[in-house]
Amino acid sequence: MNQKIRLNKYISNSGVCSRREADKYIKAGLVSVNNKVIIEMGFKVNENDIVKFSGEKINIGKKIYVLLNKPKNYITTTKDPRNRKTVMELIKNASKTRIYPVGRLDRKTTGLLLFTNDGEVATRLTHPKYKIEKLYHVVLDKNLKKRDYEEILKGLNLEDGKAIVDEIEYANNKKNEIGIKIHIGKNRIVRRIFEKLNYNVIKLDRVMLAGFTKKNLQRGEWRYLNKKEIDFLQMMKK
């Protein structure tokens, strides 16, 4: 990087967040350049500047995209104050450049999780207006009644608004196994949908994310996205 670029773009290119979110963090005083807090919109930096976000140094590196099949009992966070296992341990050899999980899966949930240092892609994968589809395989403690099935399809009213479901089907010819497709990304949304109707979720597995599947990816394994998959993600930024 020989030319100066805007600070919000630098932060986005480091993978922390989108440019719009970066502006909010700058305004809140969470960003420093050369140990000086910067709140000026439009401030520019160069490759020799030391940029820190929340006290931690960030850098621009090659864009990395890693897909993980997350196992149970790992926390989706970069650090855990209680020293529990985090997903970062599973992909520690994937990149020397720091990458971040896109969205989150709770500790007991398994399945697909994407990591990247591309802040713009991360925003588009998580913001509901882009309607990125996620498919989950759910195992319940009892059979899902037909009337509850229909209630879920209509959209349940939860404490933080209506839970819109794109599709729902019984899976594997079993009434307690459900396939549910959604694009909303609210916290614990799938579990809360079923808990609202007095069902306990025994297993929850994300089997599809933005068209990516778990094909040839065993639990706990990760892989780099191929060029075609990266091109697909890059198109989302336009």
Could you give the residue numbers annotated as active site?
A: 106
Number of Cβ within 10 Å of residue 200's Cβ equals 11
Measured in whole angstroms, the distance separating CA 132 from the mean position of its chain's CA atoms is 11
- The three-state secondary structure class of 29 is coil
Nearest to 217 by CA among 38, 69, 21, 45: 69
Distance CA 82, CA 68 (A): 23
Contacts for 140 with CB less than 8 Å, ≥ 6 apart: 176, 177, 178, 194, 199, 200, 201, 202
Query: CA angle, 83 as apex, 193 and 28 as ends, to 5°?
Result: 70
Contact 109, 70 (CB under 8 A): yes
Q: Sort 217 into a burial class: Cβ within 10 Å, 0-12 / 13-18 / 19+.
A: middle
DSSP conformation class of 160: T
